[in-house]
Amino acid sequence: MATRCETSYRERLTEFLDPREQEIIQSIIGNDDEVTIAFFGGSPYSERKRALIAPSYIEVDEGDFKLSLYEIRYPVKFVSLEHRDVLGALMNLGLKREKFGDIIMCKEHVQVIIAEEIEEYVRANLQMIGKATVSIAPLALSKLEKKQDVWIESTTTVSSLRLDAVMSQIFNLSRTKVRPYIEKGLVKVNFKLVDQPALLLVEGDQLSVRGFGRTKLIEIEGKTKKDKYRLRFGQLS
């Protein structure tokens, strides 16, 4: 993309990138004097962002990132939605995760950043999330609320800090069922795809498992009398 930018003198815009992908692209292109790279996901607090690679003489504007903000409303008195419900409904439209930025769960509605090029398709097709009928309406980016992740905390004990052992306890799955998720590339640790069940986890690590959402190891509280690790973890609401 950087080479094309240099030779065609035109900007190149990526899909939405997670923090690790942003770090990788910055390390690859960041020292190139011929191009500049900027990231934006709707606000300074955004986690997922698009990257714009442009000739170094071009001044980048927020509008160049082609972002759209939408508000999703649903009957909050009768239905409770979680982040993974919203993400699942969006991806069930046949679109890739890379087309969506942050999903902000508010008290009475949801905000979602999407790529401008798919907004008409989303507006026409997103009618249900789970069993809830929803409505969707555009908002100005200035109305984007600050993302505040809510982690529902729990504790458990594990025999090992291996990835497969921790996943087994947190998601209430047997190790034999956990391994295929890891081996098929459905598990990320700190936004990086992993394929090693024996990977040792540490405090602060974030796990995301397709279909199960995201979990964070908040604290390793020590060992029990049976020599098991006592973990405090949070699951993203």
Write phi, then psi, for 97 (nearest 5 degrees): -60, -30
Query: Residue 35: what pLDDT?
Result: 83
In the predicted model, residues of the chain with pLDDT beneath 50 are none
* pTM, to two decimals: 0.75
Q: For residues 49 and 51, what is the distance between their CA atoms, to the nearest angstrom?
A: 6
Q: What angle do CA 207, 210, 216 make, to 5 degrees?
A: 20
Query: Residue 8: what pLDDT?
Result: 72
CATH 3.30.1370.160 in the chain: give the residue spans. 2-65
Q: For residues 43 and 29, what is the distance between their CA atoms, to the nearest angstrom?
A: 23
- 3-class state of residue 172 by DSSP: coil
67-143 has which CATH code?
A: 3.30.70.330
Query: Residue 62: what pLDDT?
Result: 92
Query: Residue 56: what pLDDT?
Result: 81
pLDDT, tens only, 182-197: 999 899 999 889 999 9
Query: Residue 219: what pLDDT?
Result: 94
CATH 3.30.70.330 in the chain: give the residue spans. 67-143
Which CATH number applies to 2-65: 3.40.50.970, 3.20.20.140, 3.40.50.1000, 3.30.1370.160?
A: 3.30.1370.160
Query: Residue 69: what pLDDT?
Result: 97
Query: Residue 207: what pLDDT?
Result: 93
CATH 3.10.290.10 in the chain: give the residue spans. 151-236
Q: Characterize the bridge pairing of strands 35-40 and 12-17.
A: unpaired
Query: Residue 57: what pLDDT?
Result: 82
Asked if 47 contacts 19 with a C-beta cutoff of 8 angstroms, the reply is yes
Sorted by sequence, the CB contacts under 8 Å of residue 159 that are 6+ apart come out as: 165, 228, 229
Burial degree of 23 (CB within 10 A; 0-12, 13-18, 19+)? middle
DSSP per-residue codes, 56-112 = TTSPP-GGGG-EEEEEEE--TTT----HHHHHHHHHTTT--GGGEEEEEE-SSEEEE
User: Is 3.40.50.150 the CATH number for 151-236?
Assistant: no
